[in-house]
A = this chain, B = another copy of it.
Amino acid sequence: MIFLTRKAEFSSAHYYWVEDWTEEENSRVFGRCANRNGHGHNYTVEVTVAGEVDPISGFVVDLKQLKDILEHEVISVYDHRHLNLEVPEFRTSIPTTENIAIAIWRRLDGKIPNAKLHRVRVYEMPDLFADFYGEQG
């Protein structure tokens, strides 16, 4: 068993706001993130897959295929987008770092041939990141 990790980046806008809360409540919990004009980040996502190394190719997963799946399922949907306004899963949940990691897991899980998705890590800033290992994690 070996673990292979590939990083990718996307630049998106977002804000934190709970419709059922007052402005004061949103501001108290979310601080400056509650500004509904939005702000944004250069996000980094690390996708880790686990599997056996193929004894001929030396690969646990076809790197080009992994890159294409990540591009198609995540980057093309999130990059240069407003997460709250344009990405379906964030119409009903707030795009916190935690929820973005879970959402990317759900977008990728089961789609990678010959390997198991092991971890999704999302950096919102270099000093803040979330790790998700799946529903059983």
- Copies of this chain per assembly: 6
Question: With A59-B96, A59-B98 as given contacts, are A3 and B86 in contact (CB-CB < 8 Å)?
Answer: no
- Considering only CB atoms, which chain B residue lies closest to A7 in the complex? B127
Residues of B within 8 A of A88 (CB): none
Q: When each residue 29-62 of chain A gets 1 if its CB lies under 8 Å from chain B and 0 otherwise, what string results?
A: 1111101011111100000100001011111101
Report A89 CB to chain B, min CB distance, Å.
11
- Considering only CB atoms, which chain B residue lies closest to A18 in the complex? B56
With an 8 Å Cβ cutoff, the count of chain A residues facing the other chain is: 64
Which of A's residues lie within 8 Å of B, judged by CB?
1-9, 11-14, 16, 18, 20, 29-33, 35, 37-42, 48, 53, 55-60, 62-64, 79-82, 85-86, 93-99, 101-102, 125-133, 137
